[in-house]
Amino acid sequence: MSKLLPDDVKEQIRQILSTMQNPIKILYFSENEGNCQTCSETKELLSAIEGINDKVTLIEKDRNTDKEDAEKYGITMAPSFVLLDDNETYKGVKFNGIPAGHEINSFISALLEMAGTPIEIDEATKKRIAAIKNKVNIKVFITLSCPHCPGAVQNAHRLSMLNDNIEGEMIEAQTFQAISQKYDVSGVPKIVINDKHELVGNQPLETILDQIEAL
Amino acid sequence: MLNLNISSSPKPTAFTEDKLWDLIVVGGGPGGLNGALYAKRKGLDVGIIAKDIGGQLLNTTDVDNYLGYTMIEGEALSHKFHDHLKHLEVPIHQDKTVKSLQKNNQDFTLTLSDGNTLRAKTVLIATGGVPRKLGIPGEKEFSNKGVSYCTTCDAPFFKDKHVVVAGGGNSAAEAILDLAQWASKITVVHRSQWRADQVLLDKIHALDNVTIHLESQLKEVFGHNVMRGVKAYDKVNDKDFIVETDGLFIEIGNIPNSELIASLVETNDAGEVIVNPNQQTSLKGLYAAGDVTAQPHKQIIISTAEGAKAALSINQYLNNDYILKENNNV
């Protein structure tokens, strides 16, 4: 644990998470079969977060043996985890791969907002988000050394928290090389909407919204 | 490793108050942050509007020319700057940009990306720059399909591959050193001679997988779906050559982010804002610092220094000119 979360960072996270309002759950899917590259360190990070704040409960599943849950939450790779709110509802916030490096920021921000911290988006934009009726999947490919990526992940997750039709998933490109190659990712952040519409770079939320509205 | 960048301090509410700020700083890079720091210490009511904290520092892996640090990560340095401002309780409106800026009589009105407006007696523009593009055929087509402007973001995709780096300044040199940890081979193509610091060049020359073409101009990026290579022109031997490569990292300097005020102030041909020795633009009450200005040396320490100069000049302006004018109006 000392390797992943040094004491000073742990203390910082403790302070930040102290403003969490509601209890939340992290539903984490590992993979005992096969060769899960980053499962152990992902679990280490999530366990550490659970230990820091008692409003966080970590539940571990195996994506191969807990098939029903894996299917319910659309888990296709491991490590992967979703956040559930205080009603145990999945709002579409998913992380595929470890949110370490720069991505710790989108992870902490998702925890806070899932636990009831108001999302800072103006009312007009919130109305636009609420009006989306189609099913939307947003994939955000990232690398852990990318300083511009957490903003893109945060935007995708905020959209999904504000509309049940939208799912936002982070995909750590180095761990999931095959899927990254499938989507021709060689620059990050890369945002893919409904598997075909691509945006490159950390686009403002409004730009992502424009693209979704044009679907 | 974790790069935690979230503040535990409550979100600033100062920006929703209807008030006339002494100074609004636009930009969260070294120039803007240091400007705000100096202004705060002078007792000014100052706030920062920033897309991010650190600005172009975030694109820099290692900084080894900032006095006091033999080597520090760009982001770590930006955290130190941020901590300093938090200590002084300077309100920062993060993830926001300024859409428009107007001067009415003496004061300024800023309209933010979220539609809210702010009023300020003075404004410091420290909006930095964005990476300059080569402007050659294929560059746009293969952008993020091999062509990259962020080495720290995209280097991992080029593990054991051959990449080309365009540029010969410090940013290019640092990109080469970053990429050397991933790529199997690096070819440098630069249109003139090296401008990078000798300490960086010594490190590059010690690498055995770097080929260097100086006095060579990139002409085209080619490929099918993904990039396959580049065409360049060797000026000395007057002939074209082809480099088959998986990636092109472009590090040829920056374009100033001066759009917001370009129609209000004097700029040079490159679009950089012209300032006087006190960092004042041609419009009274409006100041600029850092890479957005016409000063030729784009360095962290120079941007921070310009921020300081701007803040001190702003303080003087508010104490002398601003109040005098206000009294005259009465």
State which residues form the domain around A162: 7-213
Q: Which helix (H) or strand (E) holds B108?
A: strand B107-112
Residues in chain B with CB shorter than 8 Å from the CB of A13 are 4
Structure confidence at residue B325 as a pLDDT band (50, 70, 90): low
Residues B260-285, mean pLDDT to the nearest whole number: 97
List of chain A residues with pLDDT < 50: 1-2
Of B250, B270, B286, the residue at which a domain comes to its end is: B250
Residue A157 lies in a domain: yes
> How far is B94 from B82, CA to CA, in rounded Å?
12
Q: Do the Cβ atoms of A104 and B11 come within 8 Å?
A: no
* Same domain? B258 vs B246: no
CB contact under 8 A, A147 and B148: no
Q: What number is the average pLDDT over the span B287-310?
A: 96
Distance from CA of B297 to the nearest CA of A (A): 24
Dump strand ranges (E) for B114-209: 117-125, 129-131, 147-148, 162-166, 185-189
Compare all CA atoms of chain B with the CA of A15 and give the residue at the minimum distance: B8
Question: Nearest-CA distance from A207 to chain B in Å?
Answer: 12
Q: Considering the domain boundaries, does residue B104 fall inside one?
A: yes
Same domain, B38 and B127: yes
The verdict on B159 and B96 lying in the same domain is no
Instruction: Give me the amino acid identity at B23.
Output: L
Structure tokens at B74: 């760009």
What average pLDDT does the structure give for chain B?
92
Provide mean pLDDT across the span B24-49: 98
Domain encompassing residue B107: 14-131+254-329
In this structure, are B102 and B86 located in the same domain?
Answer: yes
DSSP state of B66: B
Domain end (from B216, B250, B284): B250
- Let me know if residue A27 belongs to a domain: yes
pLDDT at site A136: 98
Which tokens is A131 given?
């009006």
Q: In this structure, is residue A126 part of a structural domain?
A: yes
Residue indicated by tokens 């800026």: B101
Q: Is residue B60 part of a domain?
A: yes
Q: Are strands A24-30 and A80-84 parallel, antiparallel or unpaired?
A: antiparallel
pLDDT at position B330 is 40
Is residue A80 within 8 A of residue A96, CB to CB? The reply is yes
Whether B9 maps to a domain, the answer reads no
Q: Which residue of B has its CA nearest to A201?
A: B144
Tell me what pLDDT residue A202 has: 80
CATH number for position A104: 3.40.30.80
> Exposed, middle or buried: residue A135 (CB in 10 Å: 0-12, 13-18, 19+)?
exposed
Residue B174: inside a domain: yes
Mean pLDDT of B284-311: 97
Interface test with B, best of A102, A157, A177, A179 (most B CBs within 10 A): A102
CB contact under 8 A, B154 and A190: no
Q: Which amino acid is at B47?
A: G
B49, B119: one domain: yes
Mean pLDDT of B155-161: 95
- How many domains is chain A built from? 1
ipTM for the complex?
0.84
| Residue B4 belongs to a domain | no
Whether B7 shows a pLDDT value over 80: the answer reads no
Residues B242 and B176 placed together within one structural domain of the fold: yes
Domain count of the fold of chain B: 2
Residues B168 and B109 in one domain: no
Same domain, B174 and B89: no
Same domain as B121, residue B18 = yes
Give the model's pLDDT for residue B11. 53
Beta strand residue intervals within chain A, DSSP E? 24-30, 56-62, 80-84, 90-96, 136-142, 166-172, 190-193, 197-200
Residue A147 C-alpha, separation from nearest chain B C-alpha, in angstroms: 6
Contact with chain B for residue A130, Cβ under 8 A? no
**Is A2 domain-assigned?**
no
> B153–A150: do the CB atoms touch at under 8 Å?
no
Whether B248 contacts B221, CB under 8 Å: yes
Position A127 in a domain: yes
Q: What is the pLDDT of residues B191-246, one digit of tens each?
A: 999 999 999 999 999 999 999 999 999 999 999 988 999 999 999 999 999 999 99
Segment B85-98 shows an average pLDDT of 91
Instruction: Say if A188 is an interface residue toward chain B (CB within 8 Å).
Output: yes
C-alpha distances in angstroms, B46 versus A123, B40, B83, B124, B286? 27, 6, 16, 10, 14
Which of B221, B250, B279 lies at the terminal end of a domain, its last residue? B250
Are B261 and B238 members of one domain? no
- Average pLDDT of the residues in B297-326: 91
Interface contact flag, B115 A122, Cβ < 8 Å: yes
> Is residue A103 situated within a structural domain?
yes
* Cβ separation B148–A186 shorter than 8 A: yes
Closest in B5, B115, B147 to A105, CB measured: B5
Residue B1, pLDDT score: 66
Query: Does residue B108 share a domain with residue B186?
Result: no
- CATH number at B175 reads 3.50.50.60
The per-residue pLDDT for range A116-145, each reduced to its tens digit, is 999 888 888 899 999 999 999 999 999 999
Chain B positions touching A124 (Cβ under 8 A) are 115
d(Cα B173, Cα A26) in Å, to the nearest integer?
43
Q: What are the residues whose beta carbons fall under 8 Å from the beta carbon of A91, sequence distance 6 or more?
A: A83, A84, A85, A114, A160, A161, A164
Q: Which residues of B touch A (CB under 8 A)?
A: 1-8, 11, 52, 54, 58-59, 75, 95, 113-116, 143-148, 150, 152-158, 225-226, 247
Instruction: Determine, yes or no, domain membership for B1.
Output: no
In a domain, A54, yes or no: yes
Least Cα separation, residue A168 to chain B (angstroms):
19
What three-state secondary structure class fits B322? helix
Cα(first)–Cα(last) distance of chain B, in Å? 59
Q: Is residue B228 part of a domain?
A: yes
Check whether residue B20 and residue B118 sit in a common domain.
yes
Tokens representing A201 are: 């770079």
Q: Under an 8 A CB cutoff, do A15 and B8 touch?
A: yes
Asked whether the predicted pLDDT for residue B329 surpasses 70, the reply is: no
Could you tell me if residue B7 is inside a domain?
no
